[in-house]
Chains A and B, each alone.
Chain A
């Protein structure tokens, strides 16, 4: 070692840094890197084990060894569990511990400290209590108890404290003490310790209590045990104590409800009494009591601080309770003792007991009741006796001969009765000179006036009397003048009128003006032109408007209606009457209008007055159409399959998917009209069938003829092949689709169908078919042989077919036979139609499935049908129609089989044949008479039965459909449909499979 030799020359100071020889290089590196790693972002950090090896590798790092060693350690990465017979080795309960989830490293990290959930750990102490009970029972089993049997176990419930309490106790807290550490003071601490020592020595019993407090098992009946605990407990944190009912109050009655501070007082006193009874005359308890007159209401003072006077002050509530006041049931002896104690103690050093208490209960003699005192209160008589109606009725007097005078008297009487006596005085004074007003001052007609006045008063007071009873007495003083002032009215100024012109008539007018003094304020818009009833007389109209304005203005009517000099009094009166009538008419018109059209805001008086006939009608019509009960409606309702089963009924909807807005789809009825629906219709119309039949046959022939004539066009125009499929699968298209299609139908004439379009359509349709077949998991054979084969079949008209087709056909025929023999009718929705032998193999397959489901569900349906239209010869009818149809089918197809050489043409024909068939399904409707007839019938039906929406709606669209059937398919339509079908296919497939 060269270094050693060198070292001899140097003097070495200090100790060299010791190299950690034991740590491996890797570990050192790991440690060194740890610091660096921590600085790295999370995705760059690497996980290493204690040896510094990388434990986790990516997909391309690590290699075999990493895979081998870093995993469980087998070649496979894990070792499959070996079989063990459950017969020999009964499945034992595997107990998982936390170690099952830890590896050595983790265990090492734990440092040998076993981690386990403690049974005793419980925040709320419930489990702990349970545990303690178990422990106790275990103990009890071990040692036989004094009382045999299970009773003591139930009686004495061992308790434990919750973990929280235990922790607190470990930290020095004791029961009943505040959690808040208020006395951190060391001086205080030492003083307290000293006191504790003193206490310990002072009394045996207290000692016992102390033990009890400090022990981890506080007794349940703490409150019963003694006042001492209680007192200490009350010093701070409330210990749950049981208060036995000891007073004589009613259950639940709390005399200290609103003064809880007295409750403790009371309790203390009670306990002290008890202490006295027990002859436990230790001065300390009393001493405590006297001190704790100042205890704080909240936290703060611990259990043992009572001795210190200084401490008391800290939380002194600032007032001491006077014992005598507090006592609800004062007991003389205890009270005396208490005070004596106080004095002995000399706590209140600077205070003396007052010789005379401040709180002297003063007693007053009861007030003397005056001799004339009456228990009831008598209200003073009303302030205005003038208003009261004289009970005595003046004798009935015949009216004076002078009619003007009579009118005047009556008007005046009404006025006076209305407004009060002062008006009379006013009149009297004003018209002293007027001889006509002599009746007021006892002249001519005075007695009549009195009588009239009485009558009017009676009338006016009679009405408001019940109201007056309720109204405030202050309203008694409200005279007309007051009211006028309150309302800001102008006082009547009669004096403006010339004295001499005061005729009886004018007086009447004045009176009439006053009678309806208050009119309802209605905002009156400017009268429309047509509203003017006096159009020919503009001056009169102006006056009328003025009148209306006055009338509707509300408030007091203006008395000074500018008298037109040219008009006589009589004219004016007549005019006024006219105005009244006109106004009334307007108002009535308004009311009449308001009633029916109360919703609409009033556009103007004009509309209100003149109601158009149509409007009136419309308002009346709903009244006529009041629903007549009972009213019957029917809907489809789906019983749950299990319900059907439990009712022992075949589910009418068995195997049918849930309808999605079934009858609302127009597309169904428009395009996908099929035999089944036709059949339904035939059935339903069976009552008039016999007459109808001939015409329908005629219709068929007609339709056929039309079909043949239209053939060339149709052939070119539409590719109808996928329609059945569409219908079968996508029968519930939403309405918007339908609308689109409907919209497009008339747009697209037959002429637009060109060769190119057709080819495109066909291609799209075929593509679609093929893809659909794949979706269904069916083999779609290449196009050509299928087509050829089909045409062949068609030419032979079902005589010799391939095995598969035959089978399908026979099953189908069987179904048919069954149905006909049972008088079955195909009823149902358009989506379960039964197209006669479909051309496509795929179609056939699908069809078969459909047929089967229909067969299953056809029984109840049939019954339903029978219910509605009992038809005896339905089966024969059915037969006939079917025969007809099949015949027609074969006929329509035979010409096509002639030219089945070329593929293209055959394909075209195929598509066409499909189209033809679709057409031929609705033959009878093509004849116009038939259609009309049907429509009528359908209308009736619709009225009668709203419950067959399918058939009805289909019927509704029936005509439309026939009209548009020949020119239905624009390529635009088709392409859209196609794409949509692609979209929906998956869903529908799922639904149908």
Chain B
């Protein structure tokens, strides 16, 4: 059964989106999956149509590498963050920066819009998660969460929660409705977190080369997925890429995500491989070499069997 379903996994490269100079650090589908955004070391954001391969627009304003980008649900705004410690709030059509949110004392690793595109929540190397108000003129955060012990690598938002994964080995869920902070200590640095489509499970890519699936409500570990290589600590990657690219503080978040039907877990590896694990039993159902170098980001199409991967080699590839 699984093998039959596994046939539909996007393993065929349909297109390569070239344009970024230097590593691509993140690639994200927009909400409906018609467009995608990529950002990278070349300090630009690029808006593509991944299905045609057309580069729609390039957004330049960041002073340093751009680490994460997210588009609002109405596709009107973008938010991006990077090593220049600022969060840029863009207008998609004009390509202008509407606002720059300041407050982070260090590089910003991840940024997300909330459900209503009113708040931007960012996670930074300065061990904080900060929430910024898009509707006010102020560029200061409306809330700062500083309970983390180490760099916060990834943040995701649900309707009522802010979930962030940190290098201190914890995934912290901040429930705004209940006023509770839930700390799930995984014991290993968390590189990236991702939410299942039913929002019941949490996927955490840890630096011990393990992707862990947690039950969000109880916090128990449901499954571990192994086989890929994600154990080189950020620091080593950092040193390596400092040498190669001459950019200080380069660290790559390596994404993991679930397929849109929550049947498989997708993860990237340091050697350029993409791994598919079966969700329940955790065998590797498919793995193939997608890139020649570290796979930095994976984005799965919200509805179709389509996947985007980005890599340090500067390419974004579309898989069908």
* Chain A contacts with B in 638-653, Cβ cutoff 8 A: 638-640, 642-644, 646-650, 652-653
A636 touches B184 (CB 8 A): no
- Of B66-74, B111-119, B289-297, the one touching chain A: B111-119
Q: Which of B22-30, B94-102, B171-179, B305-313 contacts A (4 or more CB under 8 A)?
A: B171-179
Interfacial residues of chain B within 134-191, with CB under 8 A of chain A in the complex: 135, 142-143, 145, 147, 159-160, 169, 174-188
The answer, yes or no, to whether B282 is at the interface (CB within 8 Å) is no
Partner of B115, one of A638, A644, A647: A647
Segment from B33-41, B80-88, B214-222 that makes contact with A: B214-222
B133 at the interface (CB under 8 A from A): yes
Could you say which residues of chain B place their CB within 8 Å of the CB of A631? 184-185, 187, 219
Given the known interface contacts A632-B219, A633-B185, A640-B131, the answer about A860 and B116 at a Cβ–Cβ threshold of 8 Å is no
* In contact, B159 and A647 (Cβ under 8 angstroms): yes
The reply to whether A647 and B180 contact each other, CB–CB distance below 8 Å, is no
Q: Please tell me if B212 contacts chain A, counting CB pairs below 8 Å.
A: yes
For the complex, give the distance between the alpha carbons of A646 and B217 in Å.
24
Interface hits, A833-881 → B, CB 8 Å: 860, 863-864, 867
A657 interface hit (Cβ, 8 Å): no
A596-642 interface (Cβ within 8 A of B): 627, 629-640, 642
Taking a contact as CB atoms closer than 8 A, the residue among B142, B212, B214 that contacts A640 in the complex is: B142
A947 within 8 A of B: yes
In the complex, the answer to whether B185 meets A637 with C-beta atoms within 8 Å is no
Task: Provide the residues of chain A in CB contact with B143, threshold 8 Å.
Answer: 639-640, 642-643
Interchain CB contact under 8 A, A643 and B142:
yes
Collect the chain B residues with CB atoms within 8 Å of residue A947's CB.
Answer: 180, 182
Residues of the A chain whose Cβ atoms lie less than 8 Å from the Cβ of B220: 630
Return B68 CB to nearest CB of chain A, in Å.
20
> Contact at A630–B181, with CB atoms within 8 Å?
no
Q: Within the complex, what minimum Cβ distance (angstroms) separates B89 from chain A? A: 14
Q: Are B219 and A630 in contact (CB under 8 A)?
A: yes
- What is the distance, in angstroms, from B31's C-beta to the closest C-beta of chain A? 18
Given A630-B214, A630-B221, A632-B219: A639 touches B174 (CB 8 Å cut-off): yes
Interface string of A641-672 (1 = CB under 8 A from B): 01110111110110000000000000000000
Given A639-B143, A639-B176, check contact A646 B133 (CB 8 Å).
yes
Residue in B135, B142, B169, B184 whose beta carbon sits within 8 Å of that of A632 in the complex: B184
Report the Cα distance A634→B218, complex, angstroms: 11
Interface residues as binary, A934-967 with B (CB distance below 8 Å gives 1, 0 otherwise): 0000000000000100000000000000000000
Shortest distance from the beta carbon of A854 to any chain B beta carbon, whole Å? 15
Given A630-B221, A633-B183, CB of A860 within 8 Å of CB of B178: yes
Bound form: Cα–Cα A369–B296 in Å:
60
Provide the bound-state CA to CA distance between A739 and B181, in Å: 30
Nearest B-chain residue to A947, judged by Cβ: B180
| Contact among B142, B180, B185 with A629 in the assembled complex (CB-CB below 8 Å) | B185
Interface string of A438-480 (1 = CB under 8 A from B): 0000000000000000000000000000000000000000000
B residues less than 8 Å from A634 (CB atoms)? 180-183
Q: Which residue of A643, A650, A653, A860 is within 8 Å of B119 (Cβ)?
A: A643
How many angstroms from the CA of A640 to the CA of B179 in the assembled complex?
10
Q: Is the CB of B184 within 8 A of A630?
A: yes
- Whether the pair B186, A630 counts as a contact (CB closer than 8 A) is yes
Q: List B contacts of A639 (CB < 8 A).
A: 143, 174, 176, 179
Chain B interface main SS type: loop
B11 to chain A, nearest CB (A): 32
Given contacts A633-B183, A640-B142, contact A864 B178 (CB under 8 A): yes
Q: How far is the CB of A918 from chain B (nearest CB, A)?
A: 29
**Separation in Å of the B135 CB from the closest CB of chain A?**
7
Chain A count of residues within 8 A CB distance of the other chain: 28
Complex-state Cα separation, A642 to B135, whole angstroms: 11
Residues of A within 8 A of B160 (CB): 647, 649
How many B residues face the partner with a CB closer than 8 A?
37
Q: Is the CB of B187 within 8 A of A630?
A: yes
Contact A637 B179 (CB under 8 A): yes
CB–CB B176/A649 < 8 A: yes
Contacts of A867 in B (CB 8 A): 178, 217
Closest chain B residue to A642, Cβ basis: B142
Residue of A nearest to B178 (CB): A864
How far, in Å, is B142 (CB) from chain A's closest CB? Answer: 5
A629 B186 Cβ-Cβ under 8 A: yes
Give A935 to B121 CA distance when docked, in angstroms: 42
**Chain B hits for A629, CB < 8 A:** 169, 185-188, 221
Which B218-259 residues have C-beta < 8 A from chain A? 218-221
* Bound Cα distance from A637 to B148, whole angstroms: 13
Min CB distance B58 to A, Å, is 30
Q: Considering the complex, which residues of chain A in the window 347-397 have a beta carbon less than 8 Å from any beta carbon of chain B?
A: none
With beta carbons under 8 angstroms apart, the residue of A627, A635, A643, A653 that contacts B181 is A635
Q: How far is the CA of A637 from the CA of B146 in the complex (A)?
A: 11
A644 touching B176 by the CB < 8 A rule?
Answer: yes
Minimal Cβ-Cβ distance residue in A for B174: A637
A637 to B175, CA, bound (A): 8
Smallest CB gap from A650: residue in B: B177
Interface residues of B in 240-289 (CB under 8 A from A): none
- How many Å lie between the Cα of A330 and that of B188 in the bound state? 71
- Whole-angstrom CA separation of A627 from B188 in the bound complex: 12
- A642 vs B217: C-alpha distance when bound (angstroms): 26
> Which chain A positions have C-beta within 8 A of B180?
634-637, 864, 947
A629–B133 CA distance with the chains assembled, in angstroms? 35
Q: Which residue of A lies closest to B204 (CB)?
A: A630
With a cutoff of 8 Å between Cβ atoms, the chain B residues found around residue A863 in the complex are 177-178
Which of chain B's residues have a CB closer than 8 A to the CB of A638? 179
Query: Are A643 and B176 neighbours in the complex by a CB distance under 8 Å?
Result: yes
**Of the candidates B133, B187, B214, which one forms a contact with A642 in the assembled complex, judged by CB atoms under 8 Å apart?**
B133
Q: How far is the CA of A647 from the CA of B177 in the complex (A)?
A: 9
A644 to chain B minimum Cβ distance, whole angstroms, is 6
| CB-based contact A643/B131 at 8 Å | yes
Give the nearest-CB partner of B181 in chain A.
A637
Interface contact A647-B119, CB-CB below 8 Å? yes
Q: Are B119 and A632 in contact (CB under 8 A)?
A: no
The complex places the Cα of A840 from the Cα of B177 at a distance, in Å, of 35
Q: C-beta contact mask, B117-137 vs A, less than 8 Å → 1, else 0?
A: 011000000000001010100
Q: B residues within 8 A CB of A635?
A: 147, 180-181, 183
- Are B219 and A646 interface neighbours, CB within 8 A? no
CA distance A916 to B116 in the complex (A): 52
A630 lies within 8 A of B185 (CB): yes
Closest to A632 in B: B219
Q: How far is the CA of A199 from the CA of B142 in the complex (A)?
A: 75
Known pairs A630-B185, A635-B180, A864-B178. 15 more at Cβ < 8 A?
Answer: A627-B187, A629-B187, A630-B187, A631-B187, A633-B182, A634-B182, A635-B147, A636-B180, A646-B119, A647-B159, A647-B176, A648-B116, A652-B178, A860-B178, A863-B178
| A-B pairs with beta carbons under 8 Å apart, 24 shown | A627-B187, A629-B221, A631-B184, A631-B187, A632-B182, A632-B184, A632-B185, A633-B183, A634-B180, A635-B147, A635-B183, A636-B181, A642-B143, A643-B131, A643-B143, A646-B133, A647-B119, A648-B115, A649-B160, A650-B177, A860-B177, A860-B179, A863-B177, A863-B178
Interface residues of A (CB under 8 A from B): 627, 629-640, 642-644, 646-650, 652-653, 860, 863-864, 867, 947
Shortest beta-carbon contacts, A-B, top 4? A632-B219, A629-B187, A637-B181, A652-B179
